[in-house]
Amino acid sequence: MITLKYRAKAPEVYTLCEMLHKLGYAVKISDSFTLEVDAAVKDFQKKNALVSDGIVGMKTWQVLFDKSSKIFSSNNLFLSESDLVNFSKEHHLELAAVKAINEVESSGKGFLINGKPKILFEGHVFWQQLQKRGIKPETILNSTNKNVLYPKWTKAFYQGGVKEYDRLNQAIAIKSDPKIKEAALASASWGSFQIMGYHAVSLGYPTVQNFVDKMYLHEREHLKAFGKFLETNNIMTDLRNRNWAKVAQKYNGASYKLNKYDLKLQKAYEKYS
Is the residue at 234 inside a domain?
no
> Which residues lie below 8 Å from residue 233, measured CB to CB, with a gap of 6+?
250, 251
In a domain, 155, yes or no: no
What is the number of structural domains in the chain?
A: 1
Residue 185 lies in a domain: no
Q: pTM (2 decimals)? A: 0.81
C-alpha dist (Å) from residue 237 to 85, 92, 148, 201, 233: 18, 10, 37, 22, 10
pLDDT of the residue at 73 = 54
Q: 7: how many CB neighbours lie within 10 A of its CB?
A: 10
Q: Is residue 15 part of a domain?
A: yes
Asked if residue 180 is part of any domain, the answer here is: no
Give the model's pLDDT for residue 113.
83
Asked, for residue 67, whether it belongs to a domain, the answer is yes
pLDDT for res 98: 96
Asked if residue 30 is part of any domain, the answer here is yes
Residue 53 lies in a domain: yes
The pLDDT assigned to 115 comes to: 87
Half-sphere exposure (CA, 13 Å, Cβ side) for 145? 22
Strands 188-190, 119-121: pairing is: antiparallel
Domain range enclosing 52:
8-71
What is the reported pLDDT for 11? Answer: 85
Give the per-residue pLDDT at 80: 92
Q: What is the CATH number of the domain that holds 38?
A: 1.10.101.10
Low-confidence ranges of the chain (pLDDT < 70): 70-75
**Predicted pLDDT of residue 25:** 94
- Beta pairing, strands 188-190 & 195-196: antiparallel
